Each structure stands twice: as C-alpha cells, then as structure tokens.
Chains A and B, each alone.
Chain A
Amino acid sequence: MSDHSSSYEPSNGFTRWLDERLPIMRLMHGQFIDFPTPRNLNYLWTFGAILTFCLMVQIITGIILAMHYVPHGMHAWSSVEHIMRDVNWGDLIRYTHAVGASMFFLAAYIHMFRGLYYGSYKSPREILWILGVMIILCMIMTAFMGYSLVWGQMSFWAVTVITNLFTAIPVVGESITQWIWGGYSVGDPTLNRLLSLHYLFPFIIAALVGLHIWALHVVGSNNPVGVEAKTPKDSVSFFPFYVIKDGFAVIVFALLFAWFVFYAPNYLGHSDNFNEANPLQTPPHIVPEWYFLPFYAILRAIPDKLLGVIAMVAAICVLFVIPWLDTSKVRSTSYRPLYKPFFWLFVITCLALGYLGAKAPEGYYLLASQLFTAYYFIHFLVVMPLIGMIETPKQLPDSIAEDVLEDTSEAEKA
C-alpha cells in the first residue's frame, strides 16, 4: 500500500521547488488523499479520526489550563477555582478538558472493541495493535495524573491509593513509593512532578499515534469482512470518501461532547472532588473516574494486595499478546459462529466490572467481581486459543468487492 506510485502533481512554482527539497506535500498526498482504503468500512472505523480530534482538544485546552494552574499543595485547589470563576472562558476550557478526558476514553474503548470484534490485531497488524495498547497505557497514566492536579479529596486519595500499589512490590516497594512521592507521603513534591509528567505524556501519545498511523499505512486498514483488499475494485481513495465520512462522524461526536460540556459538565465527576484535599481524612468511598472502574473492580476482586495489583496490571498487559493467543485465521467475528457469543460475553463482562467497580467490595458484589474477573482472563487465555482450533467458520467472500456487490444486488431484488 505504501508503495503505490504517487499521483501528486505540484501545482505551482513554490510547491515544485519545495517538492525537490522536502517532499512533505507528496507524503501527505499519498497518505491522506490518494490512500487506497477498503470500500466497505462502517462507522466503527471513524473512531480513529475521532480519537485524533480528542487528542488535539486535550492538548489545546491543557496548554491553556497550564497557563493559569499552580502546582502547589496550598494553591492548586484555589487556582482551579480561579480558573472556574475569574479566568475569561476558564470554566468552558476546564469543562472541555475534563469532559474531554471521558470522551477520549469512550472513543478509545469503542475503537478497541471494534478491533477485538473484527480481529484487527491479527497478522499482519500485530505491531499496529501493540502500539494501540501502548497508547491506552499512556492515556491511563495521563488521565490519572491530570485528575490528581485538581487536588480535591478524590484526587488526593486516588493518588494515595494508586501510588501505594507500588508498596506491594517485595523488598524495594517502600523505597520506590517514597521516590515517587519525593517525601514520606503524598505532598507538594508529588503534585509538582505529576504536573510535569501530565504535560509530557500527551506528547508521547502524539508520537505513538504517529507510529500507529505509520504502521496502519504499511499494511492498510482491516474491514468488516476481514479479507484483505486485493484489487483496485476493493478500495476507494481516502479523499474524498473517508475524509467526508470521518468528518461527519467527528461532528456527531462533537455534538455529544458539547452536550456534556454545556448541560452536564459534572455528571461524570464525583462530588467528593468538590472538597479540597485533606490528608487527615479519607472519604468513605474511594471511586475512580468511570473509565477506570473495570480495572479497579479487578484490583479489589482479589483479597491479596500483591496479587490484586498483578491482576490489574495483567488485565491491560494481556492485550499485548492476544495476536498470538487467538488461533483463528478468520478475522471478523461475523464469520465466527462459535466465537461470537463469547465475544459478547466478554463485552458484558467489561460492563459488569465497570458497574461493580463503583460498589463496595462486599457480599454478592465481591463474589460477582471475582466471577467476572475470572472470565476476563479466561476469555483471553482459554476461549481465544481453544475456539480458534475447534470452530468451523462461515464461508468468507472471495473479495470485498464481491461481498459489497452481492449486498447491493440483493437489495435491488428486495
């Protein structure tokens, strides 16, 4: 795909001059105008563009917030209030950034489930998938650090609980934790480094996104049928077809985003974070933001401290190896009758863990989190390898074109 010959024609003297010195326009033309893209992509394929939009929104609003924010234990909280009350448009910018984090995760999770359903992690897209897992890891760290900056009760105690996870490491755990804190408890030095890193990480994410798109453009997009594009009939050029479709999806997504920002900016937050951090009082229930709840449920499902931490980390890291755990050669779950119910069971598992992460870990809630945690891992470690070996997939179409044209001819008959 990357080797298709370029149709770029510099249109004037300047672009001709530039093309001979830095062929950046040629590169862009090849990657984002001419780029051959499967003709059958559905709206789930627009989330890449939506995610790029989210990253840009976070970086722009974040740089602005950092102009007014003070990373000091005594002033952080009041500087956030200052942003909300005094800074021109400060409330709009802060709400956009805060809601933006939720929107970012919403889009990322949809994007990931898309990849899981359509087998987009399978050969030859393993590196593409692994880069994606690295991006979600960095997003998790970024959002955690950003939330801490508010220095409310929930911020403070979330930092305390999460940094204390490192004390689970045998022997050196205590020293590592003090190294992270820069003291003997979460305090001023901690807040300062959290801001420094919260500012850095989005740019690491941006670099990873660059690699992610590079890897995508070497092998090309997967598609809902899961057979590779072979002939020119299987593809259309990225411009105008997918530029318009992605653009439309970004606008619809932005409407939802704007609805939250303007009508329910605090709906996704927690009321305890409207109290300033108090190192002497732990709130009765510590709950993370919604996008961390499934992982929090896994952490608490296991009554042993070290094993709980290991399970939570493993829940994300297992994603790195699924290209090799899934033994089926067929990509799209639509053609995998035996795997399909298990896929949906996995989706339900993630939603259930999210629900349970917000409940006290007692009684039936605890039992349920343990069962769903077990299935979370069984899905990857047992179901994926096993079903690929025993399943008889449905007949795949020979090509994307055949599949699409068959659909239209049936539609015409009806």
Chain B
Amino acid sequence: MSSDNNDENRRDFLMVAAGSFTAVGGACALWPLIDQMNPDASAKALATVEVDLSPIKDGQAITIMWRGKPVFIRKRTADEIKEAKDVDVADLPDPQDDGDRVKNDEWLVLIGICTHLGCIPSGQKTGDNSGEYGGWFCPCHGSHYDTSGRIRKGPAPRNLEVPPYAFVTDTKIKIG
C-alpha cells in the first residue's frame, strides 16, 4: 500500500516537473520572437549628437534630430527666464522647478514631442502659435507649454522631456 502511494507521489512529481520544464522552455523560446521587435543595434548606435550653439541668438530656437526625435534648443531671453522662474510650482499639473530643467538658465533643451500623443508642438519660429504661456502649443489636441516647456493647460500629462545632455564647451553641447 505504502509503495503504491510512493509511486503516485513520484508520478505526480514527474508530471509537475515535466510541466514546469515545458512551460519555462516555451517561455524562453518565445522571448527572442518578442524581443526581436525592440530597437535594434543600429537604432541604438545613433545615440549621441553634438550641437554648436554659437550661431543661436537671444530668443531664437533651433530643432535638431536625435534618435529620430526632434530636439528643441532655445536661447531664452531674460523675460522668458523670469517668467519660467516666477511660476508657483505647486499649481502646475506636473510640478517641477525651472532650475531642475536647465543646466544653464539661458539654454533650454527639450525633446520636441508632446507628451500627450506625440505630435510636434509649434512655437519654434517667430510667428508660430506658441500658446497661452509663450512656450509651445500642440495643435493636435490643444496642449499649452510654458517657457520652461512645462505643461500648463490641455490633455498632455507631463512636461516636455529634457534629454540627457552635457556642455562640452561653453558653446557646444552633446546630447545622449
């Protein structure tokens, strides 16, 4: 009787072991099939760009491409900097100090993609609609960003993202 019981336990163990092996093996085989869709080596290779800031004048902005995304670089005027600093951060939808978004008050560097659904906000050129807060305006569903690229009004949930960058010299930055 007891040996019968033993047999049964042994069979149960074998079933569970075989089942788990198949499940784990199946999952391992599945992973390459899924992971192949992730950004590949060539996409990752394009990861850094250097930008010369010297030609940009006060109040002017340029757009460059980094990882297939537009990056906005704006040389802010004293007024724009003041406006960005004077805001009561607690009232913002995504509270963040202007100081935490720049490395040098004059230079604002942002990923130019609306955090709602990925359109490109207008406001880079003079004469563009730059929204109610003087920064950028996203025409797709009406998001307004301020002179620090923070979301102030509209459906976008977050501030325009700041990409990783560093000043290589006083007039040159490296993004990525």
Whether the pair B67, A185 counts as a contact (CB closer than 8 A) is yes
* Contact partners of B140 in chain A: CB under 8 A: 157, 161, 282, 286
Asked if residues B38 and A182 are in contact (CB atoms below 8 Å), the reply is yes
Contacts of B87 in A (CB 8 A): none
Chain B min CB distance to A151 (Å): 15
A280: CB under 8 A from chain B?
yes
B68: chain A residues within 8 A (beta carbon):
183-187, 279
Contact present for B39 and A182 (CB under 8 Å): yes
Q: Which of B37, B67, B122 contacts A179 (CB 8 A)?
A: B37
In the assembled complex, A90 has its CB within 8 A of some CB on chain B: no
Q: For residue A302, which residue of chain B has the nearest CB?
A: B155
Contact of A178 with B by CB under 8 A: yes
Q: What residue of chain B has the Cβ atom nearest to residue A177's Cβ?
A: B118
How many angstroms between the C-alpha atoms of A163 and B118 in the bound complex?
9
Q: Which of A16-24, A129-137, A228-236, A303-311 contacts B (4 or more CB under 8 A)?
A: A303-311
- Closest chain B residue to A162, Cβ basis: B117
- Residue B172 interfacial (CB < 8 Å): no
Q: Which residue of A lies closest to B35 (CB)?
A: A179
Q: Tell yes or no: A349 within 8 A of B by CB.
A: no
Of the candidates A160, A182, A183, A308, the one having the most CB atoms from chain B within 10 angstroms of its own CB is: A183
Q: For the complex, give the distance between the alpha carbons of A181 and B39 in Å.
A: 8
> Are A305 and B116 within 8 A (Cβ)?
yes
Contact yes or no, B117 A165, CB < 8 A: yes
Chain B residues, Cβ within 8 Å of A179: 34, 37-38
> Which single residue of chain A is at the shortest CB-CB distance from B38?
A179
Contacts of A163 in B (CB 8 A): 118
At the interface, yes or no: B77 with Cβ under 8 Å from chain A?
no
B39 near A281: Cβ-Cβ < 8 Å: no
Question: Which of A178, A181, A304 is within 8 Å of B155, CB to CB?
Answer: A304
> Interface residues of B: mostly helix, strand, loop or mixed?
loop
Closest to B34 in A: A179
* A280 partner, pick from B118, B120, B157, beta carbons under 8 A: B120
**How far apart sit A167 and B156, CA to CA, in the bound complex (Å)?**
12
Name the A residues within 8 Å of B141 (CB-CB).
Answer: 300, 361
Closest chain B residue, CB of each to CB of A286: B140
> Across the interface, do A182 and B118 meet the contact criterion of CB distance under 8 Å?
no
Interface residues on A, range: 35 or more
Contact with B along A303-322 (1 / 0, CB 8 A): 11110100000000000000
Query: Taking the complex as formed, is A124 at the interface, i.e. its CB lies under 8 A from any CB of chain B?
Result: no
Question: Which of A161, A178, A279 touches B117 (beta carbons < 8 Å)?
Answer: A161
- Give chain A interface residues in 291-336, CB to chain B under 8 Å: 300, 303-306, 308
* B37 touching A193, Cβ below 8 Å: yes
Nearest chain B CB to A311's CB is how many angstroms away?
Answer: 13
Residues of A within 8 A of B157 (CB): 304-306
Q: Taking the complex as formed, is B134 at the interface, i.e. its CB lies under 8 A from any CB of chain A?
A: no
Judging by beta carbons under 8 Å apart, are B119 and A160 in contact? yes
Contacts of B34 in A (CB 8 A): 179
* Residue ID in chain B nearest A160 by CB atoms: B118
Give Cα distance in the complex from A181 to B65, angstroms.
17
Cβ-defined partner of B119 (8 Å) among A161, A183, A305: A161
Query: Once the chains bind, are B118 and A161 in contact (CB under 8 Å)?
Result: yes
Whole-angstrom distance between the alpha carbons of A404 and B107 in the complex?
A: 80
- Indicate if the CB atoms of B119 and A279 lie closer than 8 Å: no
Q: Which residues of A contact B (CB under 8 A)?
A: 157, 160-165, 167, 178-187, 189, 193, 279-282, 284-286, 300, 303-306, 308, 360-362
- Known contacts A160-B117, A179-B34; 8 additional CB pairs below 8 A are A157-B119, A165-B117, A179-B38, A189-B39, A193-B37, A279-B68, A282-B139, A305-B117
